[in-house]
Structure 1
Amino acid sequence: MNRDLVIGVDCSTTATKAVVWDATGRSRSVGRAAFATSTPHPGWGEQNPEDWWSTFCEAVRRAVQAVDGRRVGAIAITHQRESFACTTSDGRPLRPAMLWLDTRATAEVAEFGTRDVHERTGKPPNPTPAWYKLLWLAKHEQSTLRRTEKVVDVGAYLTHRLTGTWVTSWASADPLGVVDLRTFDYDDDLLAAAQLTRDHLPALAAPGSVVGEVTDAVADALGLPHGLPVVAGAGDGQAAGLGLGVTEPGSSYLNLGSGIISGFASDTYRWADAFRTMAGGVPGTYALETFIGGGTHNISWFVERFAGVDTRALGLDLTAEQVLETAAAQLPPGSEGLLTLPYWTGALTPYWDHHARGTIVGLTGRHGKSHVYRSLLEGLALEQRLLTDGAEAALGEPVQKVVVTGGGARSAVWCQIVADVLRRPLHVAREPESTCLGAGVLAAAALGLHGSIGEASAQMSGTGRVYHPGEEHAAVYDRLFGVYERLYPQLRDVFCDLQTALEPPATSEDPLELVGAGR
């Protein structure tokens, strides 16, 4: 039997999806299973690692049922980054997994987030990398940390359940913030600060390398061939780059999702506040990533809270977004004098300011829903130009090609605005499941369906529609960008003062004394 198919699995923040791919990057079957996230305290985010495994099994089993499982030649995993589990040596979780979105370790960031740590790891100080949450555990859950025998990323946890061995890709472990990107190896100083040693972490392997075989028991349960190779994967962002064909300098991808992530390929190591640096999906390369915390999230917020567009009452077979987009398309660039600073969830790259807030500047009685809607789209595009300019300055070369994916890629109005603002053609990805495809690229290269990871990425990815910038609108956005880039610097202190004004006044009374007095 010719083994000419591979499985790419994406264990994301909300669900696990398994896709069977052929050598051309065409999806043959899909399986999906969702799981829950708990928030025991504001700012916390946790999951049960056992849910990662149970949904992995369900998704893979469903995907394999629709094809001849004997044709599957390899499997690779991509996953939510920075999330980690503390387990025993045999993989039993000792506490809920702590997720990338968990922000409880802000005090640890303030105390330990130095430029030296940034230079080693490529990660600007912020609560996302797991290292700061491990420091939090060392302070607040010492007994858990003492019992912990393995600290593992999502990919490592699933690989252990598949193969019985503790191994992970350095492109999967790197987002935890404990890998020195200059060497692609663990940093012993960072581990020691978190009261860990190398024995607590899985072994590191290059992305795209074979790290084991699926055990016979798991293969029988999932309908997979015995001896199926398991290929070292990468975090979801790096995998998306592979699935979108962004593997060489001069190209980038733009994910217009609930948040907006852009990735820039680099052959050399760079670190700066303008981006965070990740190990690339191609061994020895890097991915420079920028972030806007609110993307389609900002749009949904406006539609749900303020738009008041009831398409059913109007008898329209359209979404509220489609109606607003049609109205916004009739407006000129600049939304007749509105500028939006899209920091609904704070500012990430390049400012890293959690006090920053969303701002709409220029409102007059002339403006209505369509103006605000278009201004939201334009504000996100202008912010992306700010981030792209910063990445280009660090790379020292222009970004010639931008590949767009995510839910926002379905909006013709938004894509045209982004193309005009960036002054670059915007190529829409052919395959929306680009993250899963990136895992498939690694599996296909390891299986020998292509000569290299780069070749597999090029052959299995592709684009469709292209949005070209229009000179007239681009010139208007050039002028607006000159105003836009001044907004945050002039409002930075205002945001901080606003936060301070809302805090309760300090008291000199000892809370313990108050408790005692109330007894």
Structure 2
Amino acid sequence: MTKKYIMGIDGGSQSSKVVIFDLDGNIVCEGKCALQPMHMQEPGVVEHPNDDLWDSLIVASKEAMDYFPGNNEDIIGLGLCTIRFCRALLKRDGSLAEPVLSWMDARVSKPYEHVNPEVAYVTTTSGYITHRLTGNFVDTAANYQGQWPIDTDTWEWDETPDVMGQLSREMLFDLKMPGDVLGTVTKAAADATGIPEGIPVIATANDKAVEALGSGLLAEKTALVSLGTYIAAMMPGLENPRDTTAFWTNFASTPHQYLYESNGIRRGMWTVSWFKELLGDDIMLKAHQDGHSVEEFLNREAQHVPAGSDGLMTVLDWLAPGDAPYRKGIMIGFDARHGRAHMYRSILEAIALTMKNRVDDMCAELGVPLENLIISGGGSNSTLLMQIFADVFGVPTSRTEVNGSASLGAAICVAVALGIYPTYEAATHKMVRTRDKFQPNQENQTLYHRINQEVYKDITKSTDTILKKAAAIFQ
């Protein structure tokens, strides 16, 4: 039999990635294109410049197809996953009326205001890219959370006038469930991207939910920490609870199922990138001479720093939460021992400690004990960070072979939709493989528990007072 392949698109906050898998979930080839810097012309405005989401997908897909060793006709389907909480405003012909609003744009946290008469459709990034690929005005229901008129019980539009606001039903795309066919790749899209014409485009969900599926998150008492620009933790569930405080309920990539998502860290792994760039060209030269990337070089240095970073603690409010806009990022506890490796490790420890408290709060509200932890995202490549998570959480912590798991989750949706596997569970069992597992170091676990309980958990109660005063000076 001729070998068959599946394409998974992962349109993220920092890049567009196209990965081609075989039916066992092995990566055959991939292409990637970094997104342009966000356009931030004034406070609250954060836009993807020009037609960057589509243009970057063209580059990434052409690169993937250039490296593809098989025959194009053996690619049997495409799973589409894109950034959530964005807003795309389209003209009647489906082209952009304005640049796509990022999830960080203040306008997406408010109901849509119809101020541009050219706008005929209001959709998500997945809706926009679906239209570019298929020509259809359809989208996955599972990418509509936040300021959208969606009924989260039925996964359908709520056409109640006070819910619709300034939107009309005609401005909204038709909804499909995860695993449904959105359409097929048009000749125009095939010519632009190199993706084979006529293959089915399969609906998935929002990027975090697809990442959870691609990480194998199906079991109870297991949480996934997704290390992205926004860091969040997720646990699977069947109910749609309301009025929760430690988590909110997101659509899953499996139809009519849910993901419970903890409060998270805004600009989470972005802070790691910020720190690397802050060190400048000198660290890049040293890393290059040592034969490593900057992150690998810093990880090697930070491995020699003891747990707790000799008392240096970081608070990750580089982007303040909406309910505390006065907060800023903090590093506290410096003395003469501390250098860049301490600072770097302190950031990693802050990520793990912050998410430990977020997950503990979620588990307590759900009444579910945590027994296992999965880490996904590029940060999971760091053996140091994986061990820190295991030590801070005190449970076995694993990472999968494919750490860019949103593309694999998209491929799993295709495999189930096309009948390659009968269920999501069967597909996940076959296509997702654990790379390795980290056990907690008891001594470090005890230390982190003390740091967290005695200091870190309530650190902002002590720093808020001075930051409120500073905010009155530094607007």
Match of 1:462 among 424, 428, 433: 433
Q: Give me the whole-angstrom Cα distance separating, in 1, the residues matched to 2:163 and 2:342.
A: 53
CA distance in 2, matches of 1:380, 1:240: 19
Q: Is the 8 Å Cα contact of residues 335 and 371 (structure 1) preserved in structure 2? A: yes
Please tell me whether residue 6 in structure 1 is matched to residue 6 in structure 2. Answer: yes
| 1:190 CA displacement | 7.5
Q: 1:159 aligns with which of 111, 117, 130?
A: 130
Corresponding residue number in structure 1 for 2:104: 101
Relative to structure 1, the CA distance from residue 345 to residue 446 in structure 2 (aligned partners, 3 Å threshold; closer, same or farther) is same
CA distance in 1, matches of 2:290, 2:56: 37
SS at match of 1:188: coil
Q: Deviations over 1:143-194 (max 9, x none)?
A: x0x4422111111122223333211111123355432323322233587564
Is the partner of 2:368 in helix, strand or coil? coil
Return the alpha-carbon distance in structure 2 between the equivalents of residues 347 and 54 of structure 1.
32
For residue 124 of structure 1, what is the aligned residue in structure 2? none
**Is 2:305 the counterpart of 1:305?**
no
Determine the C-alpha separation between the residues in 1 that align with 2:145 and 2:5: 28
1:296 aligns with 2:269: yes
Query: Tell me, what secondary structure is at the counterpart of 1:336?
Result: helix
2:60: which partner in 1?
A: 59
Q: Distance in 2 between matches of 1:60 and 1:310?
A: 33
**Of 242, 256, 265, the match for 1:284:** 256
Q: Which runs of 5+ in 1 are unaligned?
A: 106-129, 504-519
Contact 1:72 / 1:224 at 8 angstroms: preserved in 2?
Answer: no
Q: Are residues 474 and 288 of structure 1, via their aligned partners in 2, closer, same or farther at CA, if it must alter by over 3 Å?
A: same
Across the two proteins, how many residue pairs are aligned to each other? 468
**TM-score under structure 1 length normalisation:** 0.82
How far apart in 2 are the matches of 1:331 and 1:227? 54
Q: Is 1:182 equivalent to 2:142 in the alignment?
A: no
Q: Give the structure 2 partner of residue 498 of structure 1.
A: 470
Matched residue type, 2:175: L
- Cα 1:225–1:311 change in 2 (3 A) is closer
Q: CA deviation at 1:404?
A: 1.4
Cα distance in 1 for residues equivalent to 2:250 and 2:324: 21
On the 8 A contact 2:51/2:99 being kept in 1, the answer is no
- Tell me, yes or no, if structure 1 residue 345 matches structure 2 residue 324: no
Shift of residue 25, structure 1, vs aligned partner: 0.6
Matched, 1:325 2:334: no
C-alpha displacement of 1:79: 0.4
- Which one has the largest radius of gyration? 1
Identity of aligned residues (%): 28
Distance in 2 of aligned mates of 1:222 and 1:329: 43
Aligned equivalents of 1:209, 1:375: Cα separation in 2: 44
RMSD of aligned Cα (Å)? 2.8
Give 1:24-423 correspondences, 5 Å limit: 24-36=24-36, 37-47=38-48, 50-65=51-66, 66=68, 67-103=70-106, 105=107, 130=108, 132=110, 134=112, 137-138=113-114, 142=115, 144=116, 146-174=117-145, 177-189=148-160, 192=163, 194-216=165-187, 218-219=189-190, 227-271=198-242, 272-290=244-262, 291-305=264-278, 310=283, 312=285, 316-319=290-293, 321-347=295-321, 352-423=323-394
Q: State the shift of 1:317 in Å.
A: 3.1
Write the deviation string for residues 303-334 of structure 1: whole angstroms up to 9, x where unpaired: 44369964746953345544543443333322
Contact 1:250-1:399 within 8 A present in 2 as well: yes
**Which amino acid is 2:46 matched to?**
G
Aligned CA distance change for structure 1 residues 190 and 491 (closer, same or farther; 3 Å): farther
